[in-house]
Amino acid sequence: MIEIPGGEVVVGDEGKERTVHVDAFFIDEHEVTNAEYGEVVATHEYREGAAGHPVTHVTFHEAQAYCEKRKARLPTGDEWEKAARGTDGRLYPWGNTLARRKPHPFYSGVVKKTAGSNRKDVSPYGVRDMAGSVWEWTDAGDGDQRETRGGLWNLHLDFEYSKTLDRNRLPADSRFLFLGFRCARSAN
């Protein structure tokens, strides 16, 4: 896990930004992988060669239970956004400029590659794959509707739809090929 220092962060949609304080916390460097998930959930199966790929087809409650077994939790929406945007409110983990090259489908949620292997998708804190790979569950939302964060390149194959401020709401029991998660833990 990577430690994210406490402090102010710009969060929210373009034109509707707000500054909030986030306490120090830790967050996984990359999404939870099939192998990591399988160490905790013995019934988890995945195809040969996919041990290092982000785990997917996991509901909000399953992701939450996995994190709890690791003595962690899902990140809040503000924590996820701070880990992705840094303190300067950047649009993408690497800055405010749209990447010149389209994302390679190997980093999408359908054609998976080892978690954390995209050398360009790195936040100011060193957190990887926050603008691509798979959507990620967060602890934000209410009731049956939960918030996901992160880019989903297999849907758009364009960085424009992978901004650090993008969010989606899904039913908590959703299972998709392009939906995974990472864990967080309070620093105190």
Would you state the pLDDT for residue 188? 81
Residues in the chain: 188
Give the DSSP H or E segment for 69.
helix 60-69
- The token pair at 109 is 């949620």
Query: Domain ranges in the chain?
Result: 2-186
> End-to-end CA distance of the chain, in Å?
14
- The token pair at 105 is 């489908």
Question: Tell me, what DSSP letter sits at residue 165?
Answer: T
In whole angstroms, give the CA distance from residue 150 to residue 135. Answer: 5
The third-level CATH classification (topology) of the domain covering 2-186 is: paralog of FGE (formylglycine-generating enzyme) (3.90.1580)
pTM above 0.85, yes or no: yes
- pLDDT tens digits, residue range 79-100? 999 999 888 888 788 877 776 6
Q: Which residue has the tokens 């430690």?
A: 3
- pLDDT tens digits, residue range 107-117? 444 556 777 77
